Structure 1
Amino acid sequence: MKILDRYITRHVFFGFAAAAALLLPLFTTLDLVGELDDVTPGGYRLSQAIEVVFMTLPRRVVELGPFIALLGGIAALGQLSATRELTVMRATGLSIARIGFTATLAGLALALAWAALDEWVASPLQQNGLELRNEAMAAGAQSSNDQGSVWARQDDQIVRIGNLQHKRLPVNIEIFRFDNDRSLVSYIFAETADIQDAGQWRLNNVQVKQWDQGAETTQQLDHMPWHSIFGGARLGDITLPTESLSARQLYRYIAYLKGSGQPSAQYEMAMWQKLGRPILTLAMILFAIPFAFAQPRSPNLGARLALGALVGLMVYVSNQIIVNLGLLLKMNILITTLGPALVLLAVAIVMVGHLDRGSR
């Protein structure tokens, strides 16, 4: 049986590779077309757009992971079914449940590999690509003044950072302080800031305005100390899109948001979606089993792949709708993010079990 397990596993991995080879060029081309809208002769160049697309390719691989698992599983097991090899395996005593278990182990290995790719390759590369893109567009005067700005609130302070130079040096800092009746008490503007230890910043070229019983006072300072409200959060992480953050970055940022009393649901959902992606991948590889055994005498593998693609698209769209509705309606985050994947996994296990009992 171990020889058959290795044979099935090898074919499943070949199926994954074939599905990736089919899907990635298509989505990479679509990503490049999207980048071409921002290409200009004096700013964001075509060569940079191509570089950015290739830097976001690992992220695309991770996002398409469950889809690749479904199509790859259908291609691999469907081919074995079309050549009657699955029939021969079952004649030797290999059950459908055992075939599904072997395919699931291959899917688990793939899911773990994608999780590692997401954490240590896809996220850093995508972030570097975004930085390259933003710097090129800023050089071409395509960016607005608010691009890359950061807003934060803690107690009676609201802070805005205009931008980050080299991903860590804040510029154009505005600090608003309010009293209990929400009246503006003071306003601080600093051109730049030096980040020091223990959350201390040194504000440079500072203008301070204060209001006391209707009287306004203005002060101009070369330097001014300020205890940052950003705590342990990394400013470079705060300015990044949610989907580009790794699980560790999301965890740190969620802790910062909760510590400062700010809403964190969007980032919690993003983190749990990452953790739920392996479950969805396992569900998709199990869904390939019914496609392989539903019509064992049919050689039409293309029809099965087309149906599988439709199922995968429906799962992806439904999952996005559920997540967005959960965020909008403030539903339980674990149920919203992990619930659909667990339900699909349970349905896939039931379907495989039903096929196994019906074949006896």
Structure 2
Amino acid sequence: MRLIDRYLAWAVIGGTLLTLGILLPLLGVVILADDLDNIGTANYQLTDALLFMVLSLPRYAYQIFPIATLIGALIGLGALANRSELVAMRAAGLSVWQIVFAGLRGGVLLVVLALVLGEVIAPMTEQRGVQLRRQALSGEIAQQTLDGFWAIDEGAYVNIREIQSGADLRDIFIYQFDAATETLIETHASAARYRNAHWILEDIVRSRISDGGVQVERIAQTGWDSLLDPGLLKIVIANPHLLPAWSLYRYIRFMAINKQDAGAYEVVFWAKVVYPFLMLSMILLATPLLLGSSRSSGMGWRLFVGILIGILYYLISRTFAYLALLFGMNPVLAAIIPPLLFISSALLLLRRLG
């Protein structure tokens, strides 16, 4: 890579990191302010709220990274324009497309950083933050709902009332029907533990209900062959937006096996797949906006344009997500159309500029 390419790429990277450095503390204040009402509930104190805020920031950073990239490119390259460096580069023979590709090289590094943040760091910190917050507010580590988690597992209906962690369950009901003997089998286990890639049920009461009556047997411990695994059970208590792409893919397959609607998860999954292209499209869009008005616009105007485009992106992406969820639009199309719109707009502006 030539020296001038590295110079332009680092201008984009530096502007993006500066934008994140400004936006994230503001988001942190908003998160903390929204959580102030919970302080004093049970064991939840200000230190817990601060820790929850810090652990939530990686997820928010991942969500705003595309907008931060757009604003950062406008700021970084705009600083070069204000010093007439871009004018000098073009006078020396640097084409618009060379400037675009140099900025995109910086964008590739930002994409890698965003993916590590959103697919590796954020899921761990967010789940830890939610767990600590729930424990402080309720005094319990486990999450328990009114009717628990239901799943169809190889012909059996499974109801898990309490998920303490992916590998430790409490109060499990398993309902099966033996068509050959016309017998309904109800199995209740007080606990289930995942050890050595197998489930172990403990303290079991098994009832066999048929025309001949009810037979009840008690078993101290037995194995349980199930499609469910700790990774899937951790997913059921998490927001799909917080999960890494590979976990979403596994859960979508699991829901397909169980003949359940995975539309919400598919929309989020495909949004994650096209996420790198969205970030690069922001840099592609920033370059013609900047070069088309580099002499007449100041930093405030560039920030306003970046924020306006960010709001537009949010509205468009949310609209297509709702179309997929409410009207059955293909999740792939719902995810790919927003970045395609921005890329098409950028290419049109670059053509006019060229």
- Shared fold (TM-score greater than 0.5)? yes
User: Hey, what does 1:89 align to over in structure 2?
Assistant: 89
Question: Is the Cα contact below 8 Å between 2:59 and 2:126 reproduced in 1?
Answer: yes
- Residue 277 (structure 1) shift: 0.9
Instruction: Give me the identity figure in percent.
Output: 29
Match of 1:37, SS state, is helix
2:275 to 256, 277, 294: 277
2:321 corresponding residue in structure 1: 323
Per the alignment, residue 43 of structure 1 pairs with: 43
Q: Tell me the residue number matched to 1:71.
A: 71
Question: Against the structure 1 CA distance between its residues 353 and 262, is the aligned structure 2 distance closer, same or farther, given a 3 Å change threshold?
Answer: same
- What runs of 5+ residues in structure 2 fail to find an aligned partner? none
- Secondary structure at the aligned position of 2:152 is classed as strand
Partners of 2:221 and 2:321 in 1: CA distance: 46
1:191 matched to 2:185? The reply is no
Which amino acid in structure 2 is aligned with residue 159 of structure 1? V
> Is 2:123 the partner of 1:123?
yes
The structural deviation recorded for 1:309 is: 0.1
CA contact (8 A) 1:232 1:256 kept: no
Equivalent of residue 341 in structure 2, options 336, 340, 343 = 343
Is contact 1:44-1:140 (8 Å) kept?
Answer: no
What SS does structure 2 have at the residue aligned with 1:185?
Answer: strand
> Partner of 1:128: helix, strand, or coil?
helix
Per-residue CA deviation, residues 210-251 of structure 1 (Å, 9 max, x unaligned), is 432495555554445433241685422332221221122223
Which residue is 1:154 aligned to? 153
The one-letter amino acid paired with 1:81 is: A
Deviations 1:82-135 (A, max 9, x none): 332222221111122211121121112211221122222222222222222222
| Counterpart contact for 2:178–2:184, Cα < 8 Å | yes
How is 1:1-360 mapped onto 2 (pairs within 5 angstroms)? 2-139=2-139, 145-146=144-145, 149-154=148-153, 156-177=155-176, 185-197=184-196, 199=198, 201-213=199-211, 215-216=213-214, 218-230=216-228, 233-356=231-354
For structure 1, the 5+ residue unaligned runs are: none
CA separation in 1, counterparts of 2:351 and 2:233? 50
> In the alignment, is the contact (CA less than 8 A) between 1:55 and 1:129 conserved in 2?
yes
Q: Aligned partner of 1:117: which letter?
A: L
Structure 1 residues 271 and 117: alpha-carbon distance in aligned structure 2, compared to 1, 3 A threshold: same
State the Cα distance separating 1:170 from its structure 2 match.
Answer: 0.5
Compute the displacement of 1:184 (Å). Answer: 10
Q: Provide the C-alpha distance between the structure 2 equivalents of 1:148 and 1:213, rounded to a whole number of angstroms.
A: 29
Q: Whole-Å Cα distance in 2 between the matches of residues 269 and 50 of structure 1?
A: 32
Secondary structure at 2:264's aligned position in 1? helix
* Secondary structure of the structure 1 residue equivalent to 2:44: coil
What is the SS of the residue equivalent to 2:260?
coil
Q: Distance in 2 between matches of 1:243 and 1:139?
A: 26
In 1, are the aligned partners of 2:267 and 2:331 still within 8 Å (CA)?
A: yes
Pick which of 169-178 and 108-117 moved more. 169-178
More divergent stretch after superposition (145-154 vs 17-26): 145-154
What letter corresponds to residue 298 of structure 2 in structure 1? N
2-side partners of 1:140 and 1:75: how far apart? 47
One-letter amino acid matched to 2:184: V
TM-score (norm. length: structure 2): 0.88
- Comparing 281-290 and 202-211, the one that deviates more: 202-211
Instruction: Report the AA paired with residue 81 of structure 2.
Output: S
Q: How many Å separate the matches in 2 of 1:174 and 1:22?
A: 50
Measure, in 1, the Cα distance between the counterparts of 2:40 and 2:308.
37
How far apart, CA to CA, are the structure 2 residues paired with 1:304 and 1:39?
39
Deviation of 1:73 after TM superposition, in Å, equals: 0.9
Quick one: which amino acid aligns to residue 308 of structure 2? L
Shift of residue 344, structure 1, vs aligned partner: 1.8
Distance 1:335 1:41, change over 3 A: closer
My pick for the range that moved more, 66-75 or 241-250, is 241-250
Instruction: State the 1:349 CA deviation.
Output: 2.3
CA distance 1:144–1:56, change in 2 (3 Å): closer
Measured on the aligned residues, the alpha-carbon RMSD in Å equals 2.8
Q: Deviations over 1:307-326 (max 9, x none)?
A: 22011111012102211221
Alpha-carbon distance, 1:302 to partner: 0.2
**What count of residue pairs does the alignment treat as equivalent?**
352
User: Which residue type is aligned with residue 334 of structure 1?
Assistant: V
